[in-house]
Amino acid sequence: MAIATEIILIGGSAGSYTLIAELLENLPPTFEPAICIVLHRNKHYDTQIEKSLSRKLKRNIVSAIDKIEICKNYVYFAPAGYHLMVEPNFTFSLDGSEHINYSRPSIDVLFETAAQIYKKNCTAFLLSGANSDGAKGLRMVEDFGGKIVIQDPAQAAIRTMPLAGKRETLIPLVWKNSQIISFFSNLN
């Protein structure tokens, strides 16, 4: 497995799962970047999102584990109950510290740590959700030269998160769901 020199981040909460599943369904058979997803979910419920999507889509979709290398052509989900961070040696680390924006995993934590390591090779998407988690992280991705995309609030099931992202960033791209899906279907 080859280390990913590019990373795509997706952050979402309430109302984002349907879009996430659709964009994963539209991925090409192989792609260069690693894709890392923070989806707010309760650690007390074993959803097995990764296993069910991996089986259904026949792809490398896994829960990120501590010290695992970040590889091309893989989709990683932040495990419930842990903050997911990117380390300088292109591995993940897990952290059980306090909730941020009422969330653990926090979108901001992943976005901020990935921005510092991947810089211009980092693309971050912020989707539907009911709090402002991810907005500050988007700004850091932007500040480090990465690309940021916010789901059009008019198409988000819950607009709070995309609106917070728009307020926090300087020059966000605001895309409709069809544009987001098209981006993922054209990855190489």
Task: Return averaged pLDDT per consecutive 10 residues of the chain, 188 residues in all.
Answer: 95 93 94 95 64 77 94 95 96 93 92 98 97 96 98 97 97 96 94
In a domain, 97, yes or no: yes
The verdict on residue 1 lying in a domain is: no
Range of the domain at 135: 7-185
| CATH code, 125 | 3.40.50.180
- Which residues is 76 bridged to in the sheet? 36, 62
**Collapsing DSSP states into helix, strand and coil, what is residue 141?**
helix
- Residue 139 inside a domain? The answer is yes
Please report whether residue 2 resides in a domain.
no
Q: Give the type of residue at 53.
A: L
Residue 22 lies in a domain: yes
Residue 86 lies in a domain: yes
φ, ψ for residue 89, nearest 5 deg: -90, 20
Calculate the CA 168 to chain-centre distance.
18
The reported pLDDT for the residue numbered 17 is 92
Predicted local confidence at residue 145, as pLDDT: 98
Residue 133 in any domain: the answer is yes
Which residues are registered as beta bridge partners of 156?
A: none
Domain count, the chain: 1
pLDDT at residue 53, rounded to an integer: 73
- Report angle CA 136, 111, 59 to the nearest 5 degrees: 145
DSSP H helices, 47-149, are 49-57, 107-118, 135-143
In 3D space, the residue among 161, 124, 128 whose CA is nearest the CA of residue 144 turns out to be 124
Residue 127, domain member (yes or no)? yes
Which are the catalytic amino acids? Answer: 13, 40, 133
Nearest by Cα to 73 from 146, 4, 147: 4
